[in-house]
Amino acid sequence: RNGDGRAVLRSSVREFLCSEAMHYLGIPTSRAASLVVSDDDVWRDQFYNGNIKKERGAIVLRLAKSWFRIGSLEILAHSGELDLQRRLLDFIIQEHFPSIAMNDSNRYLEFFSTVVSETANLIALWMSVGFAHGVCNTDNFSLLSITIDYGPFGFMDSYDPNFVPNTSDDEKRYKVGNQANVGLFNLSKLLQALKPLLDPRQKQLASQILEGYGDHYYIRFTELFKTKLGLLGENEDDNYLIAFLLKVSLLS
């Protein structure tokens, strides 16, 4: 895409501060360890209006338990490297999913089930603080369900489902109100990548697991907003109050 792959100082500072803020908000995320300013000049059109200016470059050192993403498995499946994909998946499970036994014939199914539920939890947490990721493609979705990319992102000042922090997202594919749906889309791509490693019964079960994503997300979203409102127990009017809260914020 003719990009130079460099970051400018202003976006690096934002990335450093936001990832730390997300951590202390209790949202799974990569952490910023250091920020180094470069002497190299970087040319950027900050507002995409044709006004290119020279800016100072910078590098953020980020830390995470793992940088494996849905795209890490997707690319191997796409190229037909199934042996390498199986080895990588076994490594990921052994290193980062200790509750899954490596001798379990259903380990890939258990892995997928965990990623589905934890992805739903992560996006519900994003929504609970008004965080819009900005670039929710499969290469920016962690297999450990942590927030790993802070390119174009933003926080809503008031609730707006059409809020888009990425000025290059003309189609509003990653608008904040679509994040849960994009999560489902990315998980469907993960399932597609895993299917060559599953038997017919496991494929059927995996499809059922994916169908349960919406329920996982809705339950977690509701729990988080009930906590915000101080609602205890279960009441049929809870969902109405949550919707009313968001509507009031939208109109404010």
Indicate which residues carry an active-site annotation: 139
- Residue 59, classed as helix, strand or coil, is strand
DSSP 61: E
The Cα–Cα gap between 232 and 64 comes to 35
The Cα–Cα gap between 251 and 135 comes to 27
Asked if residues 217 and 180 have their Cβ atoms less than 8 Å apart, the reply is yes
Terminal-to-terminal C-alpha distance of the chain? 39
The Cα–Cα gap between 43 and 22 comes to 29
* Token duo for residue 207: 């499809």
* Token duo for residue 45: 């059109």
DSSP 195: G
Alpha helices in the chain (DSSP H): 9-24, 70-78, 82-96, 107-128, 179-194, 200-211, 213-229, 238-251
